Structure 1
Amino acid sequence: MAKNIKREVIEWTAFFFVGVGLSLTGYHTEVIGTLQRIILTTGVFQPSENEATVLADYDLLLEDLEGNTLSLSDWKGEPIFLNFWATWCPPCIAEMPDIDKLYQFVNKKIHFAIISVDDDREKVKSFAKRKGFDFPIYFAKSRLPKVYESTTIPTTHVIDAKGHIVISQRGMAKYSSDAFITYLRGL
């Protein structure tokens, strides 16, 4: 009996110090993101089409990592993939590799706006450089239209060429599936 208690104390102590170490070094977000990425490979979290027709609001100014400004209205009449995320959000980090794969497959047909909600722009630049993602990262330069507001990140909206929000996904999803790529190519 005493052996089991001693073993449990050692295991819980080790678990505690690993957790504290991950938290203090900032790697906890990466570790949790990696675990969630593994869950995404199961295909459990798939984006689904909206039931009702919701119109997009193009009244949104974006600023890229270099400080260039563009309006969402510049892309009016063309499909758009909008994703709201943060560097401190494990589910966001988990889905980023899938979004990057998706971007590789469909970026000629669809505009991508991966919009960071981080306050620290340098941290976002550093994160993007370290990860080597090819998709464009933006910051909202104007107030977010109500139709895109969410208390959850990641949140993704897909707008078709007619200006309808055909997908609104709150929470992470696997975006690089063959079915989703085919769907986007058909927009």
Structure 2
Amino acid sequence: MTRDKFSFKNIPGWVYTLAIFGVLYATGLHTEVLGGVQRLMLATGLKNADIPTAIEPATPATLTATTEPMAGAGFQMTDLEGKVVAFESLKGKVVFLNIWATWCPPCIAEMPNIQRLYEKVGSDKIAFVMLSVDQKGMDKVKKFISKKGFTFPVYMPASQMPEEFSSPAIPTTYIISPEGKIVAQQNGMAEYDTPEVIEFLQKLAK
């Protein structure tokens, strides 16, 4: 009776794949790897953000006439220094609100292009709110942001999430006009560092 000699060539490919994903999951690197793959997808331009093709820029008259509460009225946030910020304090500005989490690969995939957008539109009339919904505390979020070198404003909920910002999935992004109205919503990851989005935000802010 002869024994078959062991050979790695006889191991099915799916076993290797399973083993690799097992190691990535055990080390916590799976989120980064998946995020990297999805970032490449964004680079193709197939997932550019959807924005309205026509807008009505805010004017002092329309801002004064607007008496309805802002989307997210009453919502409280905490920045990474522990300061509580009222979402309503941003009324009068264009708000780019992105809901994300450190464990979400699509969130990680789109964050570099949001950082580039933040750097390009730099304006005191446009507020970025990167709202983390992580449940494991602020320290994890601070470490993640520091490691990545992101400089956009990051917050965490300090009160119940408003119904207007409820979404079946993350990331979800909302663009809110100076009058406090949601004028664009993107469910899922997207490429925001585009001429179209930059122009849209700047026109809203005029």
TM-score by length of structure 2 reads 0.82
Deviation string for 1:116-148 (max 9, x for gaps)?
000121111110110010101100111111111
Partner of 1:178: 195
Q: Does 1:138 align with 2:155?
A: yes
Greater shift, 86-95 or 135-144, is seen at 135-144
- 1:112 is aligned with what amino acid? F
- Larger radius of gyration, structure 1 or 2? 2
Question: Paired residue for 1:27?
Answer: 29
Which whole-Å CA distance do the structure 2 matches of 1:25 and 1:125 have between them?
20
1:90 aligned residue (100, 105, 109): 105
User: Alignment partner of 1:111: what SS?
Assistant: strand
How far off is 1:168 after superposition?
0.8
Size of the aligned set, in residue pairs, is 180
Matched, 1:78 2:80: no
- Counterpart residue identity of residue 74, structure 1: S
1:8/1:116 Cα in 2 relative to 1: closer, same or farther (>3 Å)?
Answer: farther
Corresponding residue number in structure 1 for 2:172: 155
RMSD of aligned C-alpha atoms?
A: 1.9
For residues 126 and 7 of structure 1, the distance between their equivalents in structure 2, rounded to whole angstroms, comes to 42
Kindly provide the CA deviation profile for residues 49-73 of structure 1, in whole angstroms up to 9, marking residues without a partner as x. 369xxx7233211100110111111
Gap regions ≥5 residues in structure 2: 1-7, 54-69
For residues 131 and 111 of structure 1, what CA distance do their matches in structure 2 show? 20
Alignment partner for residue 110 of structure 1, among 118, 126, 131?
126
Question: Matches of 1:11 and 1:37 in 2, distance apart?
Answer: 26
Q: Which runs of 5+ in 1 are unaligned?
A: 1-5
Which letter does structure 1 place at the counterpart of 2:32?
E
CA, structure 1 residues 88+9, in 2 after alignment: closer, same or farther (shift >3 Å)?
same
Percent identity, please: 42
CA apart distance, 1:115: 0.5
TM-score by length of 1: 0.90
Q: Deviations over 1:27-79 (max 9, x none)?
A: 0000000000000011111222369xxx7233211100110111111111110
Please state how far the C-alpha of 1:8 moved relative to its aligned partner: 6.4
Q: Aligned partners of 2:169 and 2:175: how far apart in 1?
A: 16
Q: Distance in 1 between matches of 2:157 and 2:122?
A: 21
Deviation per CA, 1:54-111: give whole Å up to 9, x if none.
x723321110011011111111111001110000000000000011001101131310
Q: Give the 3-state SS of the residue equivalent to 1:49 in structure 2.
A: coil
Aligned position for 1:124: 141
- 2:131 maps to amino acid: I
Matched, 1:9 2:11: yes
Contact 2:51 2:197 (C-alpha < 8 Å) held by counterparts:
no
Alpha carbons of 1:16 and 1:8: their partners in 2 closer, same or farther (altered >3 Å)?
farther
**Residue 41 of structure 1, aligned match among 43, 54, 70:** 43
Greater percentage in strand: 1
